[in-house]
Amino acid sequence: MRQILRVLSAALLVSFAAAAQSKAAKPAQPELAPLALPAPGSQPDLVLPLPGPALPPLDLSPFLKNTSLCVFPFLKESARGNADKAYLESIQKTFFDVAKDSPLLKDAVLMGPSLCDVRDTACFSEAGKTAHCQNVLVGSSQAKGNGYVLSVRMVEVAKQRLMPGSEVEQVLETDRQSDVQAWAEGQACRALQVKCVGKIYVDADRKDMNIYIDNRLAPRSYKTPEQIAVEPGVHGVRISIGQRTSLEKKVAVRRNQFSDLIYARQTDKGGLPMALASELHGTGKPAPSVDFSEGGWKKPVGYTVAAIGLVALGFGAYELSHGRSQATSADTAAAARGGAYTEAELSTINSGKSAQKTGVAMMIGSAVLLAAGATLVWVF
């Protein structure tokens, strides 16, 4: 009987431990470095933003220091999409504006259209030589699906070769010019060692909302809106509350500029929708978040405890009935012989009494477990 009670106690403890672990458990997250938050009153060029995720080291100093850089217009490799002449020239201007601020370069030259093929390194080297540039920057845009494959590379004019490590290619699932310009600005700032920073604006109206930029946890000032310093580029923003998370929202950030304002809210069903101000089309600010109860650990534990109580009740009832049946059987056999008990019948009676005691103890224990389970489910 003591062994059985110990088993029940252990089962109860395991149930509570499992519930506590379930309450504490959260989806596995990598160690996330916080984003740099601008100090009050600081200037954008004094804020150190977090670079984009998983970017390999890039140092073009040995090739670019004290040189002239010719920046050619981006070339179009496909007639699809919106990559028209003005669009491509705006990307060239983005690279050129950053190049003018580079501490590496002696000067930057904005070049006109070229007849060179996109991948013709020798042709661009000759054009750069004519313009008295030691290096040439050229890029291309190729429509793909709903976006573009963007590529940028630098050419060493004297050696007529691509500068080692200078070629970057990325797929952007967007056809918005602002997104492509933000991407170009981020790549140019990184390659030309220009300190660039922009800010992401997030209107998150609950203090329990966590903000993630490119899957990195951003610190919160709890001001409206939050201002988070990042490098130029297209960044993924999402929020979470507890174990719930929103879908990621892509937002373009230019240097020394603010992103489109992102609204983050909570619905009565626990949803975490996000919307850009530009997507609201003048409908005004979204309604405030509403409360949502995620539920706790008490009800699941209560049901588990009650289930253990029911099992104990059934086992106790069986033991009690079985013990009584054994005693009755032995008494009946002895009465038929005039009240004389055999050793086997005495042993059966002792076994029956033991089973009845176990059954009573199990039923008492089951009553305690059922009461505890009901309390957790209905009271708390």
Q: Tell me how far apart the alpha carbons of residues 150 and 158 are, in angstroms, rounded to a whole number.
A: 26
DSSP 309-350: HHHHHHHHHHHHHHHHHHHHHHHHHHHHTTSPPPHHHHHHHH
- Under 8 Å CB-to-CB from 261, ≥6 apart: which residues? 201, 202, 203, 225, 276, 277
How far from each other are the two terminal CA atoms of the chain, in whole angstroms?
32
May I ask the CATH class of domain 31-39+197-279? mainly beta
Say if residue 288 is exposed, middle or buried (CB neighbours under 10 Å; 0-12, 13-18, 19+).
exposed
Domain borders along the chain are 2-21+295-379, 31-39+197-279, 50-191
Domain 50-191 homologous superfamily, CATH: TolB, N-terminal domain (3.40.50.10070)
CA 145 to chain centre: 26
Q: Give the pLDDT score at 24.
A: 41
- CA angle 47–52–57, rounded 5-degree value: 100
Asked whether the domain spanning 50-191 has the same topology as the one spanning 31-39+197-279, the reply is: no
Q: Tell me how far apart the alpha carbons of residues 10 and 21 are, in angstroms, rounded to a whole number.
A: 16
Q: Give the pLDDT score at 295.
A: 60
Q: Tell me how far apart the alpha carbons of residues 171 and 358 are, in angstroms, rounded to a whole number.
A: 71
Instruction: Check if the beta carbon of residue 200 is closer than 8 Å to that of residue 251.
Output: yes
List, run by run, the mean pLDDT of 10-residue segments along the chain (380 residues). Answer: 48 46 41 40 42 60 90 71 67 91 93 87 94 91 76 91 85 77 88 91 94 92 92 93 92 90 93 91 87 71 85 88 86 82 84 87 87 76
Q: Give the pLDDT score at 55.
A: 57
CA separation, residue 267 to residues 274, 281, 295 (Å): 11, 21, 15
Q: Tell me how far apart the alpha carbons of residues 235 and 238 are, in angstroms, rounded to a whole number.
A: 10
Q: Tell me how far apart the alpha carbons of residues 44 and 173 are, in angstroms, rounded to a whole number.
A: 28
Q: Give the pLDDT score at 58.
A: 64
Q: Give the pLDDT score at 74.
A: 84
